[in-house]
Amino acid sequence: MDGKPLVSIVSAGLSKFGKNEGLYARELFAEAVKEAFDRCPRLEPKRDIKAMFVGHMGESYEHQGHTASTVADWAGLLNIPATRTEAACASSGAALRSGVYAVLSGLADIVLVGGVEKMTHRSTAEVTEYLAMASDYPFEQWHGITFPGLYALMATAHMHEYGTTERQMAEVAVKNHYHGTLNPKAQMQKEITVETALASRIVASPLKLYDCSLITDGASCVIITKPDLAKRFTDQPVNIVGTGQANDTIGLYERQSFTSLQAVKLAAKNAYKMAQTKPEDIDVAEVHDCFTIAEIMAYEDLGFAPAGEGGKLAENGETCLGARLPINTSGGLKAKGHPVGATGTAQAYEIYLQLTGQAEKRQVKNAKMGLTHNVGGSGATAIVHIYRSETQ
Amino acid sequence: MSTTEPFTIEQFYKFIVQGKLMAGQCKKCGKIHLPPRPLCDKCFSHHFTWTEIPRKGKLLTFTVIHIAPQQFQNMAPYAVGIVQLEKGAKLPGIITNVTQEQLQIGMELKIEFTECDKTQTWPQWPRYCFKPLQI
């Protein structure tokens, strides 16, 4: 648990997640940035922020590319380098990691990293098509394989190899919906039962509606700096002590295994090593539950459960608030929502709240070590960060 | 087989039009690439020969897609899977002539090449699908 701090988070912001009618990406981003500025009165944004990295997946939604400069403009941050990072659903995990690179390089000592996606004004068919762009076009999309379809292929393989059940997947959805009711910014604010989840309509068998994350509008950001500058801005910095990122084949079909994501295993291994920590030391984690099977695979690939036993962890309630290792206390992508470009730094936002004791009704007691796990596409990108509270 | 055709996705689909499932084989390390690539991801050679992949394979995993993209909506629900072919090659695709109950990991499938309407816009790739060898 002695990893050297790489950077410190001094503030964070999150827009309301959900169907934000009439609000576009730049306006959602401004809402997140406002919260981060308000939380950190000692920061003078125009003077202090030296660079921005913004995760955003799809210019199709709003017919708007050049995202970083667009949202930086509306955030009141001109005359600085503002760069978009794109890694599908891991776009803002990549923004965070880029910010770490920037601070560690010494080129920028205070960096705002964030992400945004505006999705709900489009039809489900359009969103399905845009999300599929994260997968291989000539061999997956061209042959009718959707994004839920890719995770369904993994779910079928996982069930066949390990006996994972649809009920275990439903338990993940039930837990994350429960957590969502404790988060006023979550898109879904109602609890569900295993029976409701199991009876919901099929999207791509065995995945049903309640196995899938949501179509969401939202934005998120965190402000990071050099650890020796952090106390200038806040008495409660959260240090990032480990970072890992890896890639894999763009086509799922080219992989050796369909029951685990090699990129996640590699990213986690590097992050744990850098943080000089291990899975057992983590107190709270936000994992990329774009589908319930993805959360089960995350338990295994991050070392929270042995291979094949992720389903049991969910079934036994071990990842619920109040249990041994609370996972997705924010509600996760399943209930908080999944504005794809915003998800990576929205996970960092939740861990920041947890490690500074600001998570209110969903606060994990004595949380000191946190982890985020952000996955792009069907696992061609994986980004893991490990966080440590210096004050709790 | 001539080795003058480029080892590209476009060429892969040109062979599909001719009813052939063709992979690139690295001349240096022997790795089979399906689809073909212009740069071997194992040894970085760019010298290849074409090798035909037999049309029979085994189903590795599958799903039945109910919520489909616009252009596949008239087919939904439809099955898709990833198929293990010979020579270590794998390929995903739609599985036809099968019910959800008949789908099984390990079942034998055969790739078939289907006619495709020519449109004016890119891409003009043909489609293929997998059918059970026997039910």
CA distance B78 to chain A (A): 9
Tell me: ipTM over 0.90: yes
Which tokens hold the place of A185?
A: 């910014």
In the predicted structure, residue A182 carries a pLDDT above the cut 60: yes
> Residue A178: is its pLDDT beyond 80?
yes
pTM: 0.97
Is there a contact between A110 and A229 (Cβ–Cβ < 8 Å)?
yes
Q: Which residues of chain B have pLDDT under 70?
A: 1-3, 116-119, 135
Give me the pLDDT at residue B135, please.
Answer: 61
**pLDDT at position A170 over 60:** yes
Q: In B, which residues are within 8 Å of A124 by CB distance?
A: 67
Q: Is residue A381 over pLDDT 80?
A: yes
Inspect the interface and report whether the beta carbons of A145 and B125 lie closer than 8 Å.
no
Buried b (16+ CB within 10 A) or exposed e, A255-285: beebbbbbbbbbbbbbbbebbebeeeebbbb
Residue-wise pLDDT tens digits, A306-323: 999 999 999 999 999 999
Percent of chain A with pLDDT over 70: 99
* For range A127-151, the mean pLDDT: 94
Whether B130 has its CB under 8 Å from any CB of chain A: the answer is no
When CB atoms are compared, the residue of A146, A152, A205 closest to B68 is A146
Predicted local distance difference test score (pLDDT) of residue A118: 98
Q: Does B123 lie at the interface with A, CB-CB under 8 angstroms?
A: yes
**Over residues A194-217, mean pLDDT:** 98
B62 touches chain A (CB under 8 A): yes
What is the mean pLDDT of the segment spanning A16-27?
Answer: 97
Q: Nearest-CA neighbor of A150 among A248, A301, A297, A251?
A: A251
Share of chain A above pLDDT 90, in %: 97
Cα separations in angstroms, A331 against A134, A290, B39: 23, 12, 43
Mean pLDDT is lowest, of A46-55, A79-88, A120-129, A360-369, for: A120-129
pLDDT digits (tens, 9 = 90+) for A242-285: 999 999 999 999 999 999 999 999 999 999 999 999 999 999 99
Q: Nearest 5°: CA angle at A374, between A313 and A207?
A: 55
Quote the mean pLDDT of chain A.
97
